[in-house]
């Protein structure tokens, strides 16, 4: 099960993230997770939101370059070795992790949520299901 993530190209300057979060706030969109990869001149902001369509439209209307990507959200035990427990079979089956970011899941203090972009999301999902790893849907993300 894949979920949609928004990737926003942004110049690397003071206040730029504020301008983007302001657009989302004015549109009534709630952020669930974010990650920024940067260089000297620009950055890639990756966000998970409660309403992808509304966020994408608002950001595009504000003149931002927005791309929708498919990522995989999984639940892992929030304890030492929790992430490690699911990585072995993925590595064995030569699934490459292109990028990853994580966050605490909120109410359930025993679980953390991890977002993956794999070189082959479909194959990774199949492997994770065989390990009985809980995959999250966009509905699950909205309820967080």
Per-residue model confidence as pLDDT tens digits over 115-125: 999 999 999 99
Same domain, 85 and 29: no
State pTM to two decimals.
0.90
* Residue 74 or residue 143, greater confidence: 74
Is 122 within the bounds of a domain? yes
* CATH code, domain with 100: 3.30.2130.10
- 18-28 burial, b at 16+ Cβ within 10 Å, e below that, comes to eebeebbeebe
Cα-based distances in Å from 138 to 21, 66, 88, 122, 144: 20, 18, 26, 17, 10
Q: Provide the residue range defining the domain that includes 103.
A: 72-136
The closest of 130, 122, 118 to 91, measured between CA atoms, is: 118
4-40 pLDDT per residue, tens: 999 999 988 889 999 999 999 999 999 999 999 877 7
Is 144 part of any domain? no
Q: Total domain count for the chain?
A: 2
């Amino acid at each position: 099960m894949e979920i949609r993530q928004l990737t926003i190209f942004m110049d690397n300057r003071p206040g730029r993230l504020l301008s983007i979060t302001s657009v989302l706030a004015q549109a009534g969109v709630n952020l669930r997770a974010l990650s920024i990869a940067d260089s000297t001149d620009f950055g890639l902001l990756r966000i998970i939101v409660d309403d992808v369509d509304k966020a994408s439209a608002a950001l595009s209307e504000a003149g931002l370059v927005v791309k929708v990507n498919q990522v995989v959200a999984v639940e892992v035990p929030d304890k030492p070795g929790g992430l490690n427990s699911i990585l072995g079979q993925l590595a064995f089956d030569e699934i490459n992790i292109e990028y990853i970011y994580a966050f605490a899941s909120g109410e359930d203090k025993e679980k953390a949520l991890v977002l993956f972009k794999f070189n082959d999301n479909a194959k990774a999902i199949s492997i994770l299901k065989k390990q009985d790893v809980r995959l999250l849907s966009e509905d699950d993300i909205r309820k967080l």
